[in-house]
Structure 1
Amino acid sequence: MQKVKHDKSGSLERRSRLQIPGLRWWMFSFFILIMIINYIDRSSISIAMPLISKDLHIGPALTGIILSSFGWTYAIMQLPGGWLVDRLKPRKIVSGSLIGWGIIEGLTGIATGVGSLIGMRMFLGVFEGPVQNGMNSSLIRWLRKSEHARGSTLVDGGGPLGTAFGGLVVTGLIVWLGTWRIAFGVIGLITVIFGLIAWWFMRDNPKDHPMITEKETKYLEEEATEKTVAAEKTTASTPIKSFLHLSPWMLLLAFFGYDAVLYGLLTWAPSYVSNEQHVSFSMTGVWTFVIFGAGFVGELFAGQVADRWIRSGTSVNIVMRSMLGFAGLGVAAAIILVNFVSSTSSAILLISLANFFLRWGGLYWAVPARLVAKEHVGQLSGAMNFAGNVGGIITPILIGFIVQSTGSYVSVFVTFAIAGLIMAISSILINYSRKLTA
């Protein structure tokens, strides 16, 4: 006989006969999948751009503006996105975002020129803007505190993994269907379907999920009670007072350098592989997978090493300064060497190595919690993400003008190397072991 429970509104919800042990990890895996879809859709235009630019007769400078336009609205949506998540709850925001950007992704296939492409990309940024806030908010409820670092790093790792698979999925669809326009429609339809699945599968509170076991509900509720008691005892400075210190500013600058390279590669790597290295369109997808797959490996590697190193008793300052500082230097060294090699495979493998080091920057998402009190982490994270997206907006446009005016990518890789050095120096200047209280 089925158990029946009453929700707060008094409506009835039947407890499913199917109860899944460890449901929180299924939910967590679903969030990784959403992040993969997020980045497949986000990077699809970059992968298809060599074909789109030929069909619509778009030069490098305008291409840079088109690729940057996603970031204009995405950055603006970070703060209101957090407010929407708090007000409407993660389930509505995540499922609504997926459906919204899936529709926009599909409509991109009917774009007729620069104006319509920019409009589509801006709407894509609007709908994708709140989704990571929604998933992060939901993860806090679905994972215990001891599981947050592992969970956040792996979900963030869905970004490079999505871009990697995007190279294969988007190029495969275009080659199979014979046109980029229908390929965008197919990708958009798949995204909308996942939006409907998100609405069916997600719940804002674990105890409301029909598939959760009583044992797991108690496990998570005990953690929630402990968090509530701890929160009542916490006093902290305001976010504004925290910014009187050097560390938050260095975090913003470091993340600016990080995102400048991240979005530079995300938007322009496929065009570089296709146009500069004269690789066929189908092979461009394979090399895109290699470049961004290396980033996924780098993010997993950094998360595991940092966690174990800190658990061994090493100072968090030594761990974070060493890893993030070395990561920035690794990016700068690998990317500048691209200008000194002649073979296609060497150039692309160096870019892959740079992306491997770059994605160690996933550790930045753990820094706000080390600098400010729990109730201000979201605001510092939002400021950090906004600073990064400023870099993400500027870089694609800058690359477009550099390529159009010089006809090469030499100065582009110099720019990336400078951003890597900014990332390294700023990271070393952060005091990761001091919680700011005034």
Structure 2
Amino acid sequence: MIINYIDRSSLSIAMPLISKELHLGAATTGLILSSFGWTYALMQLPGGWLVDKLKPRRVVSASLLGWGIIEGLTGLANGVASLIGMRMLLGVFEGPVQNGANASLTRWLRTSEHARGSTLVDGGGPLGTAFGGLLVTGLIVWLGTWRLAFAAVGVITVLIGVVAWVFMRDDPATHPLITRKEVEYLEKGEVEDGPEPVVQGSALRYFRFRSPWLLLLAFFGYDAVLYGLLTWAPSYVSEVQHVSFGMTGVWTFVIFGAGFVGELFAGQVADRWIRSGASPNLVLRSLLGFAGLGVAVAIILVNTVTTPAAAILLISLANFFLRWGGLYWAVPARLASKQHVGRLSGAMNFSGNVAGILTPILVGVIVQATGSFVGVFIMFAVAGVLMAVPSVAIDYSRKL
């Protein structure tokens, strides 16, 4: 997931240079940044199906190899059409990977560890964006061009794909490095959880209930802010706060590093709180509801400050609360049977990535029309409230 987000955010990080080189306006930039989400969203449902059928190891490894090649070829783009085409292909190959990671952790972790596991895996998102800010800007400065930087990152991704195939296993008991004690620990967890009944029918049966629809709505609000920051934060830091390109990478690291800390914090608190005897409803409603409100308050305050440091630190605080939303990745396993986790995760991620398609375009239109990010931060605050309200109405306590 770290590599996923380094590659996903690389265009956003390089966009201040690319937009100058290709003479792109804010609305056109927003369209290009949105194009990744077009195919990424469409891949969520078939991607979830592929994960359930082919298992995570095959899907994750193939995804890494495919998008690494596309990332490297992005450096050859010479206009709007070719940039959009490369981003759409990147979305195709990256589409199944988080569903694969989410399905894998249900095999490798006991139920009591799912919150920490899901936030650790999802934490690769802000951590990858944070290190991507340093890596991509560093490569551009060192190599002298964003085009060679993309080629270098693509090679790294392909190598990670090979490592994933060699190292991953779908069944923990078959991994060459696992100990007998660890296998027994996982087996004991399955016994304590009790046998899970095989559910007949398709994953569509879950949408006869309220909670999956609320999950999709909450994740829509979450991803609206996530994609807004992912695609536009580097441009905001560079163009509005007038930070040099080299320092943009440093501030990007601060913003998204805060998100990684937020993910780990939320995962630890959730699992420890539940283990202490608290109900999943109390824990997840409290954390996710508070997170959405924290995002709304922090992001709206950006419009009231006058210094770059204050604005960027408030955005970092908003991202800290936002990434508590990594807990959403533990919810499909709470609502669905194991054979449907990949598909429900895919439906959730599809909903979020509809927001991921719309948000970069809306940001570009607002900025081009008003010459300001004030309306953008108001939109992000509304999305934070949209994240909070459905989250406190989901029933996390039983499988459907």
TM-score class, shorter-chain normalisation, is: over 0.9
1:352 maps onto 2:316 in alignment: yes
The 5 Å alignment of 1:265-414 reads 265-414=229-378
Contact 1:236 1:373 (8 Å CA) reproduced: no
Match of 2:115 in 1: 149
- Report the Cα distance in structure 2 between the residues aligned to 1:336 and 1:319, rounded to whole angstroms: 26
Q: 2:150 aligns with which of 173, 184, 197?
A: 184
Q: Deviations over 1:15-71 (max 9, x none)?
A: xxxxxxxxxxxxxxxxxxxx1111001000000000000011111101111111111
Contact 1:295 1:357 (8 Å CA) reproduced: yes
- Deviation (angstroms), 1:242: 3.5
Match of 2:73 in 1: 107
Contact 2:103 2:342 (8 Å CA) reproduced: no
1:230 aligned counterpart, secondary structure: coil
Gaps (5+ residues) in structure 2?
Answer: none
1:252 maps onto 2:193 in alignment: no
Match of 2:100 in 1: 134
2:195 aligned counterpart, secondary structure: helix
- Report the Cα distance in structure 2 between the residues aligned to 1:318 and 1:204, rounded to whole angstroms: 32
Q: 2:44 aligns with which of 66, 78, 92?
A: 78
- Deviation (angstroms), 1:327: 0.9
Tell me the amino acid that sits aligned with residue 113 of structure 1.
G
TM-score by length of 2: 0.94
- Report the Cα distance in structure 1 between the residues aligned to 2:247 and 2:327, rounded to whole angstroms: 32
Q: Deviations over 1:224-267 (max 9, x none)?
A: 6x4997134x5688644532333222211111000000000000
Contact 1:255 1:388 (8 Å CA) reproduced: yes
Match of 1:4 in 2: none
**Aligned residue pairs, count:** 400
The 5 Å alignment of 1:188-267 reads 188-217=154-183, 219-220=185-186, 226=191, 230-232=195-197, 239-267=203-231
Tell me the amino acid that sits aligned with residue 312 of structure 1.
S
Tell me the amino acid that sits aligned with residue 316 of structure 1.
P
Contact 1:237 1:373 (8 Å CA) reproduced: no
1:231 aligned counterpart, secondary structure: coil
Match of 1:50 in 2: 16
- Deviation (angstroms), 1:205: 3.3
- Report the Cα distance in structure 1 between the residues aligned to 2:271 and 2:111, rounded to whole angstroms: 14
> Residues 398 and 208 (structure 1 numbering): CA distance in 2 closer, same or farther, change over 3 Å?
same
Contact 2:116 2:270 (8 Å CA) reproduced: no
> Residues 296 and 179 (structure 1 numbering): CA distance in 2 closer, same or farther, change over 3 Å?
same
Q: 2:6 aligns with which of 40, 43, 47?
A: 40
Larger Rg: 1
Identity percentage of aligned residues: 75
> Residues 254 and 218 (structure 1 numbering): CA distance in 2 closer, same or farther, change over 3 Å?
closer
> Residues 220 and 434 (structure 1 numbering): CA distance in 2 closer, same or farther, change over 3 Å?
closer
> Residues 380 and 141 (structure 1 numbering): CA distance in 2 closer, same or farther, change over 3 Å?
closer
- Report the Cα distance in structure 2 between the residues aligned to 1:383 and 1:121, rounded to whole angstroms: 21
- Deviation (angstroms), 1:223: 5.7
- Report the Cα distance in structure 2 between the residues aligned to 1:254 and 1:135, rounded to whole angstroms: 21
1:62 maps onto 2:25 in alignment: no
- Deviation (angstroms), 1:272: 0.3
- Deviation (angstroms), 1:193: 1.3
> Residues 174 and 61 (structure 1 numbering): CA distance in 2 closer, same or farther, change over 3 Å?
same
- Deviation (angstroms), 1:146: 4.0
Contact 2:119 2:266 (8 Å CA) reproduced: no
Q: Deviations over 1:80-103 (max 9, x none)?
A: 112323443333322221111111
- Deviation (angstroms), 1:432: 2.5
TM-score by length of 1: 0.86
1:367 aligned counterpart, secondary structure: helix
Tell me the amino acid that sits aligned with residue 262 of structure 2.
G
Contact 1:102 1:192 (8 Å CA) reproduced: yes
Q: Deviations over 1:283-340 (max 9, x none)?
A: 0000000000000111111111122222222232222222111111111111011111
CA root-mean-square deviation: 2.2
- Report the Cα distance in structure 2 between the residues aligned to 1:103 and 1:237, rounded to whole angstroms: 38
- Report the Cα distance in structure 2 between the residues aligned to 1:373 and 1:76, rounded to whole angstroms: 23
Match of 1:9 in 2: none
- Report the Cα distance in structure 2 between the residues aligned to 1:241 and 1:80, rounded to whole angstroms: 17
- Report the Cα distance in structure 1 between the residues aligned to 2:52 and 2:15, rounded to whole angstroms: 36
- Report the Cα distance in structure 2 between the residues aligned to 1:274 and 1:264, rounded to whole angstroms: 15
Contact 1:258 1:388 (8 Å CA) reproduced: yes
Tell me the amino acid that sits aligned with residue 312 of structure 2.
I
Contact 2:102 2:342 (8 Å CA) reproduced: no
- Deviation (angstroms), 1:347: 0.3
> Residues 140 and 241 (structure 1 numbering): CA distance in 2 closer, same or farther, change over 3 Å?
closer
